[in-house]
Amino acid sequence: MKTRILKVNLRKHLKEKQLSQNALAAQIGIAPPTLAKMLNDEWEYVSRDSIERTIDYLGLEVADVFQLVNVEFWKPIEDRRQCTFLRGSHAHRPDEGMTIPGPDNDATQLVVPFVRRLATDSVRYIDHERDEEKLIELAKQENCIVIGSPKSNAATEILLSRFFGARPFSEEDRPRIPFGFCWPEITEVEKNSSLTCSDAARKRTGMKPGIAVKGGPLVEADYADHATFFQWAPGRRARDCGLVLVANRPFNTTEYVKLIVLAGFSGVGTIAAADALIEDFRYLEPTSEKENFVWGVVQAWYNKPANDDTREYKRFRWKYRTGIAPINEKSPVKLKRIRRQ
C-alpha cells in the first residue's frame, strides 16, 4: 500500500517574487496565520477562497502549488510485511498471573488495524519480555512497536535507555536521557528506572508530575492514586502525557527496520501517543542526515465519565518535538472509554 500526502509548495514562489509573508497576506486579504500554515505546509483545512486568492495573485497554476508525494514512514513495515508489538504487564495477584494493562491494550488496538494493512504476512506480539540482549536483537532485526509506560513495560525501559546510551534501571545514567518521567510516587520501579526524572529536574519543575524535557518544558499530568481517583466527581477533566519515539535502523543495524516507542506517563498518555502516531506519522519520519530518530511529547486530555475507575480519552496535542518539522497545533478529538491503569 502506498501512502501519499498533499503538500503545498508556496514558499519558493514568494522568494522568486521577492514578497514577504505579511505583504502577501495584506494584498490578498487573508489572515496571516492562515497564510503561515499554508507556507509551512502545516494546514489541515484551507478555504477555497484563500487558495484562489493566493494562486491568482501570484499568477500560478494549481499544479504549481499542490503536489501529491509518497510518505516513506511505513516503508520498512510495508517492504518486510512484518511488525512485532512489544508490550508489558501488571501482576495484580500472584495467583492471577501477568495481564496486559487495559490502556496499553487499547493503544495496541488503535495501531494494529493500520499496521495490518501493511504487514499482512506477520503481525505478532511478544509480551512480558525482559531479556536485554533479546530485545536489542529484536529491534535490530524486526520492525518493533513498543507500547506502555516504563512502569508497566520493561521493554520500554530497556530499549529507550539503551537507545540513548544509558544502562537500563540505572539511577546514575539518568543524565544521558533527554527526558524524564516525573512520577510523584517512588516505588522500587520508579526508584530504579533510568527514565525517572533526576532530582535536579524535579526541583526545576517544582516537583510537579509529568514528562520533563531536558532544557525544555514539563508536560504536566494530573496524578491521583486509586483511592483519590474514585473520589473525583463524574465529568471532571484532567491531563496526562505520553512520549513518542521513532527510529530508523536503530542500534546501528544495517537492516532497514523501524523502532517505534509509545510510552505514557500513565494509561491515557499511552493511548494519546498511539493516536498521535496514527494521526501525524507524516510529521514523524526522521529526515536529518546526522540523526536517524525523532521523538516528542504529547499532552492528553480525558474525562472521568462515571463513579468508577474508567477514563474517557478526549484528545491530544503536541507539546514538544525534536528532529522533525515544526509542531502542527491541530487537536483531533477522539472519544474512547478505557479502564484505569
3-state secondary structure of 258: strand
In terms of Cα–Cα distance, which of 113, 27, 126, 138 is closest to 86? 126
pLDDT of 129 reads 92
Taking only the tens place, the pLDDT of each residue in 262-311 is 999 999 999 999 999 999 898 898 876 667 899 999 999 999 999 888 99
Taking only the tens place, the pLDDT of each residue in 232-246 is 999 999 999 999 999
Taking only the tens place, the pLDDT of each residue in 14-51 is 888 788 888 888 888 888 888 887 777 667 677 788 78
The cell numbers describing 154, all together, are 520493561
Binned at pLDDT 50, 70 and 90, residue 92 comes out as very low
pLDDT of 199 reads 80
Taking only the tens place, the pLDDT of each residue in 165-174 is 999 999 999 9
Provide the β-strand partners of residue 127.
87
The answer to whether the pTM exceeds 0.85 is no
pLDDT of 3 reads 62
- Asked if 102 and 266 count as a contact pair (C-beta separation under 8 A), the reply is no
Map 71-82 to HEC letters: CCCCHHHHHHCE
Binned at pLDDT 50, 70 and 90, residue 332 comes out as very low
- Asked if 147 and 270 count as a contact pair (C-beta separation under 8 A), the reply is yes
Binned at pLDDT 50, 70 and 90, residue 93 comes out as very low
The cell numbers describing 150, all together, are 516504563
Average pLDDT for the chain: 85
**Measured distance CA(220)–CA(298) in Å, rounded:** 10
CA 263 to chain CA mean position, Å = 8
Number of C-beta neighbours around residue 11 at 10 A: 13
Binned at pLDDT 50, 70 and 90, residue 90 comes out as low
Number of C-beta neighbours around residue 69 at 10 A: 11
What sign does the dihedral 122-266-318-43 (CA atoms) show?
Answer: positive
The dihedral over CA atoms of 246, 248, 253, 259, expressed in degrees to the nearest 10, equals 30
- CA 68 vs CA 104, 118, 316: distances in Å: 34, 20, 27
- CA 235 vs CA 37, 209, 302, 321: distances in Å: 34, 22, 9, 31
- CA 148 vs CA 117, 143, 267, 325: distances in Å: 23, 17, 8, 25
- CA 139 vs CA 115, 156, 250: distances in Å: 17, 12, 7
**Measured distance CA(263)–CA(300) in Å, rounded:** 12
Question: Please, is 327 exposed, middle or buried when counting C-beta atoms within 10 Å of its C-beta (0-12, 13-18, 19+)?
Answer: middle
- For 90-106, what is the mean pLDDT? 70
Give, in degrees to the nearest 5, the angle at Cα 305 between 303 and 310.
85
- Asked if 92 and 273 count as a contact pair (C-beta separation under 8 A), the reply is no
